[in-house]
Amino acid sequence: MKAAVLHEIGGVPRYEDFPDPVAGDDEVIIEVKAVAVEHVDRRIAAGTHYAGRQYTAQLPAIPAFDGVGALPDGTLVGFGNPRPPYGALAERTVVPEGAYLPIAEGIDPAVATVLGTAVTGMAIRTAAGFVAGETVLVQGATGVAGRLAVQVARLLGAGRIVATGRDDEQLRAVRALGADTVLNTAVPDDALAQAYLEAKEDGYDVVLDYLWGRPTEILLRSLVPRTFAFPKPTRLIQVGEAAGEALVLAAESLRTSGVEICGAARGLGPRAMQEAYGQVVAWARTGELTVDVTKVPLRDIEAAWPRTDLRGSRLVVVP
């Protein structure tokens, strides 16, 4: 079969022949239909993701660990957890029995493979206990996940949505998706801190953070009260680190600000994940939730893998 094959950590997958997978006991062969290439896939291939070793311990290997495909009986499913070295970026892969769920009819497989990204937006409810009417700040709203999160916040009934990014044109697109206020983080530190203060009005109830690093450090400093007051609690959900893997967290940023920090996996289990994904799919079927995809054939993986020009569109490989 043909596949995108990674020969070395830090390399670019190459389109070439790879042995067909053979199903073992309690395994099934998946005919791959679409695979979204995400930041985590590139980090695993680069050797910079903390969980990457389990996918690259044996090289050569095929990258990506989920996608949309067909079972032997033709049923279209979303699948995950392929057995290394068989990843998703191939004509076929092999997964454990049950490591897949049916895909709703009427959804393009290329779109379906991106909808899991929208589950991170649902973390405002699963991890932060969001209730309708609250104010949500989406840090890093111009990427694919951030754009979906803005839409999710709107669909869940956010009273106000503040969104950040580094590109004014892309921020205008985010406003069209439902953000009430947009902030450009590509400004000096003091100006960004002031922008956070002005935009928060009576406070941010939930922060969904895809950035970390400098912008979130400045945000946390801006939330420290200037008087001995009891501030409105802010629940910050850590999702990504597009702006940096570390920040300096001053003690007073937690002691007096009312900020509570947790990861996006909080509150997630099989049932919560299924419910969140089911809601995302329902919105996609009605057209209330939209996602932009850029389809490329598997044979073009070497040129597509390093692309940085997609500007809010998700790269989807179609074997």
* Strand residues in the chain grouped as ranges (E): 2-5, 14-17, 27-37, 66-70, 76-80, 92-96, 100-102, 135-139, 160-165, 181-184, 206-209, 234-238, 259-263, 293-297, 314-318
Question: How far is residue 135 CA from its own chain's centroid?
Answer: 21
Q: In this predicted model, what pLDDT tens digit does every residue of 263-315 receive, in sequence order?
A: 999 998 888 888 898 899 899 989 999 999 999 999 999 999 999 888 888 99
**pTM to 2 decimals?**
0.86
In the block, residue with structure tokens 């912008």: 215
**Tokens matching residue 212:** 């970390």
Per-residue pLDDT, 52: 65
Q: In this predicted model, what pLDDT tens digit does every residue of 229-257 receive, in sequence order?
A: 767 889 999 999 999 999 999 888 888 78
Average pLDDT taken over every residue of the chain: 92
What are the structural domains of the chain?
Answer: 2-103+290-318 (3.90.180.10), 120-263 (3.40.50.720)
Helix axes 144-155, 270-286, angle to 10 degrees: 90
Q: In this predicted model, what pLDDT tens digit does every residue of 39-49 receive, in sequence order?
A: 888 988 888 87
Nearest to 92 by CA among 39, 47, 31: 31
CA R_g for the chain: 20
